Amino acid sequence: MQPAWLKSIHHDGSQLFVSNLYPRLGETVHLRLRTGATTLIKTIYLRTFPDGEQFLAPLIPTTATAVDQWWEIDLHINQPHVHYRFLINADDGLWTYSAAGCSTAIPTDHTDFQIVANYEPTRWLETAVFYQIFPDRFANGDPTQNPGSEEFTFNNHKPQTFQWNTPPAAEQPFPLVFFGGDLAGIIQKLDYLKHLGINALYLNPIFTARSNHKYDVVDYEHVDPHFGGDAALIALREALDARNMRYILDIVPNHCGYYHPWFQAALADANAPEADFFTFTKHPDDYESWLGLWTLPKLNYRSSELRRRIYAGSNSIFRKWLTAPFAADGWRVDVANMLARQGETQMGTEISREIRQAVKSTRPDAYLMGENFFDASPQLQGDQYDGVMNYTGFTQPLWYWLTGYKEWAHSLKMHVQSTKKWPTQALIDTWQSRRAAIPWAIVLQQYNLLDSHDTPRIRSIVAGNDALHRLAVTVQFTFPGVPGIYYGDEIGMLDDPILAARGCMRWDEAAWDYDLLTFYRRLIALRQSAKTLQKGGFQILAVEEDTFVYQRMDPNGRFLIIAHRGEENRQKRPLTVSHGGIADGTLFAEYFSGQKLVVHNGELPLDQHPQGATLWQQI
C-alpha cells in the first residue's frame, strides 16, 4: 500500500503542466509538477536522457496554496523525441514518478512522459465528434441503385436487396444481404446529424466491392455504383462543406478482394507484374490471405510497384481521395496491426511510416487513424498513426468493468470469460498503462468508441441497462481523445437478432428513445464547447469497488466525473478531492440535474449515488 500523500502528485501533458505541447526542435518548454501542500518532500529532480545519458536537474518550488505546492523547471527540447520522469526525495524514501505513476521501483523508459518535437497535430480533432456509418444500413436514398440478383453469382448465391428493416432470407449468405443504403441516403440525413451535433463522419468502405461490407475491394479507384459512384461522393463532400462537416474514408491496404483485377492478373499469369503483389506458396491455388479466407488475398509490400500504386506514387490511392473533388479529411486504415506483416517479412513499421509521409505531404491536416484491437503503442509515437480505434486503451477495459472480463481470438469458438467482477483498479491500471506508453499529444487524438460494426452495440453489451449505457457515454465524452458514435446508438438501437450490430438504422421516430437522444445532444454540445474536455489534464481521484472518479482540468475550469456500476447505490459519504488540487469553497454543479455541492474540509459532500454517472462542472 502506497502512502496517501502520493495521490496528490500529478503531471501530464496538458496546459497546466507543460507550457507548449508542440515545441519545435531547439525550443525550451516550461514544466510544472503539482504535489500536496503538506507532503514530506525534500527535493524533486527532473530525470532526462539526452543522447543516451541520464541527466538530473532540481525543480524549484514555486506557488503554494492551502491544498497544493507547485514545482517548476525548464526543459530544453534538444532531440526529436524527449522523454522524462521525476525523482522525488521524501522523508519516507526515494520515489520515481513517470506517466505510469509513483513507484519505489525503477520504471522502464517507455513509461516516461514524452514530448515529440516538430509534431503537427490535427487541430480540427479538438472539437470533432465522429459518427460512424455502415453505408448499406444507414439510409436508402436512391432505390434505383440497389444491388440486383442479375449482377453475379457467388457460391451459387446471388446478391439480394431486402426491404428496409425486414429480416433477410435465412438462406442468404451474410455478405450478399443488401438493404440499399447509399451516399444519397447519407446526404439526405445530414441535417439530422447536424442537429445531433455531429461534425465528422467515419464511413465504412465505399469502394467497389461485391459484399455489403466492402472490405473485399475490387476497385480502389472508384466508389461502388450501388452507393452512387464517384459523383455521389463529390455531392457528399459539397453537402458536408455546406454544413461545416468533415469525413474520413475506410481503406483496406492489407488485402483486397479475390476478384480485384490485380489478383485476377496474378492468378492468370505467374509472371504478371501483379503477381508480385501477392504471396503464392504454390501458384495459383495456394496463397497468403487474411486469416485464411480465400476471398481476401493478402497484399505483399515487398513489391515496390504495389507501394507506388497504394501510397507512394503521385496519383496513388491514399493520395487521390484526399484531393479535390473528393477531398476526404483522412483515413481509417483497416487491420493496421496486421499491415505488411507476413511471417519472416515484418514491414509494418516501415510501411506505416511511408503511408504517413504520403498522407501528410498530400494533406497536412488529414487524420490518419488505424484499426488495432491490441497494444498499439509502437504505432503511436508520432511517426505513424495520429490515433487508433482505442479498443485497448479505452473501450474494452470499460466493457469489462461494466459486464465482466472476457477474451476472444479467431482460434477459439467461445470466449475465455471470468464469472467475477473485474476490479475497478484493473480498469484504472489498464487505462493508465496505455496512456503512459504514448505521448500526450497522441493521447488527445485517440478515437474513443463504445462499439462499432465489428462489436456488439453498447446497448446490447449492457443488456439494455439505460443507466450503464449513459455511464459509458458520459465517460466517452469526458475522456482524453476524440469521441466517435456508432450510428443508431443515440436512439437506443440494440443488436439485430440476425444482422447483429449492422442492423438498419431506425428511421421510424416512434421507435426512438428521445430522452437518450437528448442526452447525447447535450453531451456532444458540451464536448464541443468545453476546452477543458478537449485538451485538459486527466487525473484519477478515487477508486472504489464499484466506483471510480476522475477530473479533467485546465486554466479554463474543471470537471469531476463520478461513475458507479453497482445495482445498489453508493452510500452517502464524502469524496476526498483535496489531492486533486481542489480547494475548500470550490463550487460544483451537476451538468444534467443542476444540483450544487461545495467542497468542505477537502471533501465533496456526496449524497447517495445511483447506478450511472454524474458530471460535475466547477462554477
Q: How far apart are CA 593 and CA 572, in angstroms?
A: 18
pLDDT, tens digit (0-9, with 9 covering 90-100), for 161-198? 999 999 999 999 999 999 999 999 999 999 999 999 99
The whole-number average pLDDT for the span 419-428 is 96
Residue 456: asked if its preceding bond is cis (omega within 30°), the reply is no
Reference 110, options 385, 414, 381, 470; nearest CA is 381
371 is an active site residue: yes
Predicted model pTM:
0.97
In Å, the largest CA–CA distance within the chain is 80
Strand partners, 58: 45
163: burial class by Cβ within 10 Å (0-12, 13-18, 19+)? exposed
Instruction: Find the angle CA(342)-CA(343)-CA(349) to the nearest 5 degrees.
Output: 60
User: What pLDDT does residue 281 have?
Assistant: 96
CA distance 302 to 341: 10
> Which whole number is the average pLDDT over 406-413?
87
Mean pLDDT over 287-306 rounds to: 97
Q: Which pLDDT value is given to residue 605?
A: 98
CA distances to 201, 359, 544 from 520, in Å: 16, 32, 27
Between 3-17, 148-162, 283-297, the lowest mean confidence (pLDDT) is in 148-162
Taking only the tens place, the pLDDT of each residue in 128-172 is 999 999 999 999 999 999 999 999 888 889 999 999 999 999 999
**CA–CA distances in Å: residue 507 to residues 179, 185, 511:** 14, 12, 8
pLDDT at 58: 98
% residues pLDDT > 70 (the chain): 100
Q: How far apart are CA 373 and CA 301, in angstroms?
A: 22
What grid cell was written down for 120?
503537427
User: Residue 211 contacts by C-beta under 8 Å, 6 or more apart in sequence?
Assistant: 175, 176, 257
Short-list 552, 546, 602, 610, CA closest to 575: 602
Question: Among residues 61, 189, 67, 82, which one has the least CA distance to residue 133?
Answer: 189
Angle at 292 between CA 287 and CA 296, to 5 degrees: 70
pLDDT at 38 over 80: no
Decide if 4-116 and 123-141+184-220+238-256+299-533 have a common fold.
Answer: no
Residue 217: strand, helix, or coil: strand
Query: Whole-angstrom Cα distance, residue 184 to residue 142?
Result: 6
Architecture of domain 123-141+184-220+238-256+299-533: Alpha-Beta Barrel (3.20)
Does residue 124 have a pLDDT over 90? yes
Query: Catalytic site residue 305?
Result: no
Written in H, E and C, the secondary structure of 458-471 is: HHHHCCCCHHHHHH
Once rounded to an integer, what is the mean pLDDT over residues 7-12?
A: 97
- Angle CA(426)–CA(427)–CA(433) in degrees, nearest 5? 85
CA dist., res. 141 & res. 249, Å (int):
20
Catalytic hit among 12, 112, 371, 489: 371
Specify the residue for cell string 521524501.
Answer: 90
Residue 1 has pLDDT above 80, yes or no: no
Strand (E) positions, 65-206?
Answer: 68-76, 81-90, 93-98, 101-103, 113-116, 130-133, 160-161, 177-178, 200-203
Nearest Cα residue to 531 out of 444, 423, 433: 444
Kindly state the average pLDDT of the residues 457-484: 98
Average pLDDT over residues 547-567: 97
Cβ–Cβ under 8 Å, residues 389 and 379: no
Contact 345, 302 (CB under 8 A): yes
Q: Which residue type occupies 391?
A: Y
Domain boundaries, the chain: 4-116, 123-141+184-220+238-256+299-533, 257-298, 537-618
Q: Which three cell numbers stand for residue 28?
A: 525550451
Cell 465505399 sits at which residue? Answer: 206
pLDDT digits (tens, 9 = 90+) for 39-62: 799 999 999 999 999 999 999 999
Q: C-alpha grid cell for residue 369?
A: 487513424
Q: Quote the pLDDT of residue 155.
A: 82
> Fold for domain 537-618?
Immunoglobulin-like (2.60.40)
Domain 4-116 classification at class level: mainly beta
CB-CB neighbours of 323 under 10 Å: 12
Residue 456 confidence class, pLDDT cut points 50, 70, 90: very high
167 three-state secondary structure: coil
What per-residue confidence (pLDDT) applies to 408? 86
Contact 387, 369 (CB under 8 A): yes
Q: Contact, 220 vs 300, CB < 8 A?
A: no
- Is pLDDT at 412 greater than 90 in this prediction? no
> Of the listed 182, 334, 354, 386, which one is catalytic?
334
Interatomic CA distance for residues 127 and 490, integer angstroms: 19
Rg of the chain over CA atoms, in angstroms?
26
Inter-residue contact 139 to 186 (CB < 8 Å) = yes
Q: How far is CA 614 from CA 328, 574, 588, 592, 596, in A?
A: 37, 15, 11, 8, 12
Pick 521 or 1 by higher pLDDT. Answer: 521
Average pLDDT over every residue of 614-618: 98
Averaged pLDDT of the chain: 97
Among 58-67, 148-157, 282-291, 531-540, the minimum mean pLDDT is found in 148-157
CA gap 278, 289 in Å, rounded: 9
Which residues, in sequence order, are CB contacts of 395 under 8 Å at separation 6+? 389, 448, 449, 450, 451, 455
Amino acid at 98: S
What pLDDT was estimated at residue 283?
97
- C-alpha distances (whole Å) from 15 to each of 11, 19, 33, 93, 554 are 10, 6, 12, 30, 6
In angstroms, the CA 34 to CA 5 distance is 12
At residue 45, the pLDDT reads 98
